[in-house]
Structure 1
Amino acid sequence: MNYALMILITMIGISSSIRIQGVAVKGKLICGGKPWRNAKIKLYDIDTNPGDPDDLLDEKFSDKDGEFQLDGTTRELTPIDPVLYIYHDCNDGIRPCQKKITIVIPKKFIHTGTPSEWMDLGVMNLELIYPDQDRSCYH
């Protein structure tokens, strides 16, 4: 009986230390000076531990004005590692797959359930080549 009680107390302690964490990101996408609609945008928590898959926090498409807002949370023991992916075909012709922009979200934008501060990317011109830009067929 004491073993069961010790396990229960340990489990309660571990579960109470797992906290809700999230990020909120917004911005506007343009291509050729015009709003870029229907770009797929995904917000992830990247998990580096083997066997622990990355957590999708939120996923949306840019609207008719090229604007987007993503806000998502997950439960983690350690601080999350938020990353934003933007998939698009701006100035891409008929090339296969889509361009993929990766943006690492600074830790200062991590919130505990309700966003206290949104990371505002401002207006992003998709005609530019961004650091860590590549191509993706699977998203």
Structure 2
Amino acid sequence: MLHAILFVLSLAGCLSILTAICTVSHVTVTGQLGCGDRALKNVIVELREHDSLSPDDSLNKTTSNNKGYFSIYGEECEVGSIEPYLRITHNCEDGILSQ
């Protein structure tokens, strides 16, 4: 039992040190979503950050406006640099444009 308590305290101490030395990085992405010659409106855009040892972090979510434009901002405290990416989920009407 004593070993378990010491392990938890050691782990908490290590996490505190890592949090103290992390650097906050900021990222902003703006863009326009389209399918052929048509703007994609109300599409969910998620800003995520890749982590090697744990599940990726969701930094923020937004939706595109009626002209397909979006702007999204996020920040993350990491030891080292962040690896941001966008997750955009849509089907573009299976690639068929309605005229």
Normalised to the residue count of structure 2, the TM-score between the two structures is 0.72
- Residues 16, 36 of structure 1: CA spacing in aligned structure 2 closer, same or farther, 3 A cutoff? same
Amino acid at match of 1:83: Y
Amino acid at match of 1:34: R
Deviations 1:28-76 (Å, cap 9, x if unpaired)? 0122312110111111111011xx2211111111110100001101111
Aligned-pair CA distance for 1:12: 6.6
Give RMSD over aligned pairs: 2.4
- Residues 17, 68 of structure 1: CA spacing in aligned structure 2 closer, same or farther, 3 A cutoff? same
Count the aligned residue pairs: 85
* Corresponding residue of 2:80: 78
Deviations 1:115-137 (Å, cap 9, x if unpaired)? xxxxxxxxxxxx8xxxxxxxxxx
Q: Which runs of 5+ in 2 are unaligned?
A: 1-9
Q: Which runs of 5+ in 1 are unaligned?
A: 1-6, 94-126, 128-139
Amino acid at match of 1:30: G
35-44 or 12-21, which moves further after superposition? 12-21
Q: Secondary structure at the match of 1:27?
A: strand
* Corresponding residue of 1:66: 68
* Corresponding residue of 2:36: 32
Normalised to the residue count of structure 1, the TM-score between the two structures is 0.53
